[in-house]
Chain A
Amino acid sequence: MQMQAIKQQLAVFTKIPVERIKDDAEITDLVADSFMLVEMLLLLQDHFSIELEQEDLEEVVTVAQLVNLVRNKIRAAQPV
């Protein structure tokens, strides 16, 4: 459920229909340039009230990896 919500945000930002955002697509292919990628990451953080760091993104190449990272951050931010 949460994964779908994260992908939905990617769709809202990129204006690519969510069903066309494939898990194995590279996140750099969703955006026109690196500036747009920065904006997309800032919006994700704002929307899900999480914080990402440069190091978090080091291993992230695909949509699935980004969605996973955001999901883990949301979980970590939730009170136990």
Chain B
Amino acid sequence: MDRMNEQERWIMSFYRYSEITGAMFFARVAACMPAGPIQVNLNKHFADESMHSWYWTKAMDELGYKPIRVANAYQDAYLDAGGLPVNMMEILALTNVFEKRVIKQYAHHMRIPDLNPVIKQTIEKIVDDEKWHVQWINQALKTLAQKYGEDKVNKKIQHYKAADEAIYQKFIQEHKDRLDYMSSTLAPA
């Protein structure tokens, strides 16, 4: 496998695993949410992330790539750096920041010249859902701000944003060799 394909295989494996991890996280949260609008959206969110992992698996299969086992998902780094969210507001604040990072990353990827059409279509399909994820979470956070206060919600978002910046810079550094085929599109955060 040439270097370009090796890198493509790695990043697709990484996306796939990250989507699986997202699904597992929302499965846990959706399982114990009391009934209500948040539960409904969370369950759809969980189903979406699970489908996204399937889209990547399918795309890799189509391109003849075998997924690589990824040691750590991006989400693990979040919990390490930003701490465990323990109530719904904190969970949604973290997810708000994370989903925006996902959209940014997929946008970087879309800017690779002569991007493989299978990858392009996969990202397009996923990003439609990711945009809805940001939307419903923003809405839910607005509602929760009535209970927690806007200040508290914003502080939590800022807290996770700071963690996100640090994690992303570390991620780029750590995987420099694997990301260099898309380095021209990776603007500093």
Contacts and interface: CB of A to CB of B under 8 A. Distances in A.
B32 A42 contact: yes
Interface residues of B, number: 19
A56 B86 contact: yes
A37 interface: yes
Contacts of A42: 29, 32-33, 86-88
A19 interface: no
**Interface majority SS (helix, strand, loop, mixed), chain B:** helix
B69 interface: no
Interface in B136-176: 156
B162 to A, nearest CB: 14
A39 interface: yes
Interface stretch (B54-62, B77-85, B100-108, B121-129): B77-85
A38 B31 contact: no
A38 B28 CA distance: 8
Contact of B84 (A34, A43, A45, A46): A34
A36 interface: yes
A38 B34 contact: no
Contacts of B85: 38, 54
A53 B79 contact: no
B32 A52 contact: no
Interface in A37-64: 37-39, 41-43, 45-46, 51-54, 56-58
B87 A51 contact: yes
A45 B85 CA distance: 13
* Candidate in B29, B33, B85, B87 with the most chain A CB atoms within 10 angstroms: B87
B84 A37 contact: yes
Interface string B23-51: 01100110111100000000000000000
10 contacts: A38-B85, A38-B86, A39-B32, A42-B33, A42-B86, A42-B88, A52-B86, A53-B86, A53-B90, A54-B85
